[in-house]
Structure 1
Amino acid sequence: MELIYQGKTKDVYRKDANHVVLKFKDDVTGEDGVFDPGANTVGLTIAGVGRTGLRMTQFFFQKLQKAGVPTHFIEANLNDVTMTVKDAVMFGNGLEVICRYRAVGSFYRRYGAYCEEGQSLDGFIEVTLKDDERQDPPISDDALAELHIMSKEAYKEVKQLTKQIASIVKEELAKRELELYDIKLEFGKDKNTGEIMLIDEISGGNMRVYKNNTYIKPMELEQLLFD
């Protein structure tokens, strides 16, 4: 297969005209050797984290599809640590949509003058541009429309889907006495139909999860979720 993109945590290969294959790596985002799902650099490598992320992604994507949420997921191969997905058209050069239930990470760093760290949030949604050079700047719906990246109608749909997806993930984790603090999602449009769908992954690498106020690392999260 033709390698078409090398990402921080996944490589992308062309399978055919309508499908690509994602190869999950053992790299995670962070800084100075500390994992941070909101970081835009690879912070560390954790043996086995790629397979862990794929297993969780398969679990959540299948659950979302049963709930009627459109996704790019086709099938996963845990042995090869790959996932076959529908080809997607990005919004601009890519967007990240974050749903926050607690004031932590970059949210607290920006707005700490107005909130306490760990303060409850009502599923706050924010969108950032995927732009390493500019530190993934937050962007409003007005700016997205003005710059012809995403229409206001598409923004409303993505916001609704994000809340629905985050709620499903949050409820699933709560069954195991785990609390979702925040989750980072990505969306694109089906190349053939134009339908907005969830893309990328849902794993410990793109969410913060705590148990009894203690942060759960991505590898530990899989054990708590499936054991």
Structure 2
Amino acid sequence: MQYGMKLAEGKTKTVYAHADNPHLAYLVHKDSITAGDGARRNVIEGKGQVAGRTTANVFTYLNRHEVPTHFVSAPAADVTLVRRCTMIPIEVVMRRLATGSYLKRHPDTAEGHRFEPPLVEFFLKDDARHDPQISGLEIVKSDIASDVEVDLFIKLGRQVFELLEQAWARQSIQLVDLKIEFGRLLGFSADNLVVADVIDNDSWRLWPGGDKAQMLDKQIYRNMQVVTQKGLADLMEKYRTVAEMTAQF
């Protein structure tokens, strides 16, 4: 693979232009893991490869179910080839069960409360402001996205969640919540929205058999009182397990 110019760099991936096709880009997944808006940072050797595999498996599954995404292929374990997008700076979070930050904002809600249909929330991507929650109306008024796009965030978000929820249920895993992002395809109309960025083990909460104590996801890292090499190695095994399980999608 020959990369073009660097287009963007985040905490867990770097985005490069395709050397020959202006409508394509490469996402290169890093070995880093972060929490607290990047305040906690560590490197887990091999994490980029399992993140890339998980993302490729998930997006292949979504493409097969005709969800509009930017994913094209995975030319290497830690590299995904995608259609180039202009990213929308909104995190779209779908929740089936109440836990985590939702309970902090709604302390009267019982943990495990089930949302039917999945609750959809929006958060502005802004580390300096700790990714504040934002309403659909505020998104439109701020010129971040159109009202048509906000409606699609909800419609497509729930479709993605329910497809993945079903896939995980077949392996007796409860998908608790999920974070996704959207982009506008380069060279197309502003309403040509696709699910973009990555969906890996940092993107969701997974509870085997619905048991929070058996969680498989990034929350384990957030919960570490002290980060140790053994703790990171144990976490890596869970990430590897999740990558292998998504291959069954």
TM-score by length of 2: 0.81
Aligned to 2:5: 2
Q: Which of 63, 66, 69 pairs up with 1:68?
A: 66
1:222 aligned onto 2:243: yes
Aligned to 1:141: 136
Query: 2: CA distance between counterparts of 1:222 and 1:116?
Result: 31
Aligned to 1:179: 174
Shift of 1:44: 2.9
Shift of 1:216: 1.1
1:64-213 mapped onto 2 (5 Å cutoff): 64-79=62-77, 81-91=78-88, 94-112=89-107, 114-122=108-116, 123-194=118-189, 195-212=192-209, 213=211
Do the aligned partners of 2:54 and 2:242 also contact (CA within 8 Å) in 1? no
Query: 1: CA distance between counterparts of 2:43 and 2:112?
Result: 27
4+ runs of 1 displaced by more than 6 Å? none
What is the aligned length?
216
Shift of 1:105: 1.6
Query: 1: CA distance between counterparts of 2:125 and 2:106?
Result: 21
Q: 1:223 to 1:104 in 2, by over 3 A?
A: same
The one-letter amino acid of 1:11's match is: T
Do the aligned partners of 2:58 and 2:246 also contact (CA within 8 Å) in 1? no
Aligned to 2:22: 17
Query: 2: CA distance between counterparts of 1:74 and 1:226?
Result: 17
Query: 2: CA distance between counterparts of 1:118 and 1:50?
Result: 31
Aligned to 1:34: none
- Identity among equivalent positions (%) equals 27
Query: 2: CA distance between counterparts of 1:174 and 1:86?
Result: 30
TM-score by length of 1: 0.89
The one-letter amino acid of 1:54's match is: G
Query: 1: CA distance between counterparts of 2:245 and 2:146?
Result: 39
Do the aligned partners of 1:8 and 1:42 also contact (CA within 8 Å) in 2? no
Query: 2: CA distance between counterparts of 1:42 and 1:224?
Result: 28
Shift of 1:111: 0.8
Structure of higher CA gyration radius: 2
Q: Which runs of 5+ in 2 are unaligned?
A: 218-238
The one-letter amino acid of 2:87's match is: M
Root-mean-square deviation over aligned CA pairs: 1.7
